[in-house]
Structure 1
Amino acid sequence: MENLEQQAFSLIMHSGDGRSYAFEAIRAAKEKEFERAEELLKKSSKEFEQAHHVQTELLTMEADGNAKIISLLLIHAQDHLMTGITVKQLAEEIIEIRKDMTNSK
């Protein structure tokens, strides 16, 4: 169970960091710092890649019959991942809109 909890917290951590980088990227684009925004999106992507590795481990454990406990912590971790990915996708779109607005002036 401890390993399962550690993995859940790792999923939360990487998802939260990815989401935070995405929000920082939006703020950078707002200031017309598009290179910085792209760097932050790359950092966000790396965090979500790590989160996906953890998620894959959890799914593999369940498929192997080793994880039969569905905990609120795991549900919370999955929620962090999904909302974080949504924020990142929206950040990418917002940054593109900001670029278009800047270039059209």
Structure 2
Amino acid sequence: MDNLELVSFQIISAVGVAKSSYIEAMKIAEKGDFDLAKAKIKEGDQEFVKGHEAHAGLIQKEANGEKVVPNILLMHAEDQLMSAETIKMMALEIIKLNQRLYSLEK
């Protein structure tokens, strides 16, 4: 396995865990446990940063003149990175909406 494949798998793995945490946060918020939901967001953020740092390393290589030849695996990793970021934004909104619903129901 070459370095680009390894980095791609690191990105996919880290952001996959992040996405799972974000989705779990939404489900927890639906049940009204907003502190735990926010904790799950933080857990997801810690994993997301790992994936983002791995990706940033590739960008740094390219900036230093070392060619990074993209392949389908890297494209998939970047897609997963972007979707994790989108899911986080949605999770934050869903948590906020559930908080409003719970306050209105009281």
Q: Report the TM-score when normalising by structure 2.
A: 0.94
- Distance in 2 (CA, whole Å) between partners of 1:80 and 1:67 is 22
Q: Give the Å deviation of 1:65.
A: 2.5
- Distance in 2 (CA, whole Å) between partners of 1:75 and 1:43 is 25
Corresponding position of 2:47:
47
Runs of 4+ in 1 over 4 A off after TM superposition: none
Give 1:29-68 correspondences, 5 Å limit.
Answer: 29-68=29-68
Q: Report the TM-score when normalising by structure 1.
A: 0.95
Corresponding position of 2:81:
81
AA aligned to 1:8 is S
Corresponding position of 1:21:
21
AA aligned to 1:78 is E
Map Cα deviations across residues 6-44 of structure 1 (whole Å, 9 max, x no partner).
Answer: 110000011111100000000100111111101100001
Contact 2:58/2:68, CA 8 A, preserved across alignment = no
AA aligned to 1:96 is K
Deviates most, 89-98 or 67-76: 67-76
Q: Any gaps of 5 or more consecutive residues in structure 2?
A: none
Corresponding position of 2:92:
92
Q: Any gaps of 5 or more consecutive residues in structure 1?
A: none
The number of residue pairs the alignment matches comes to 105
- Distance in 1 (CA, whole Å) between partners of 2:67 and 2:10 is 17
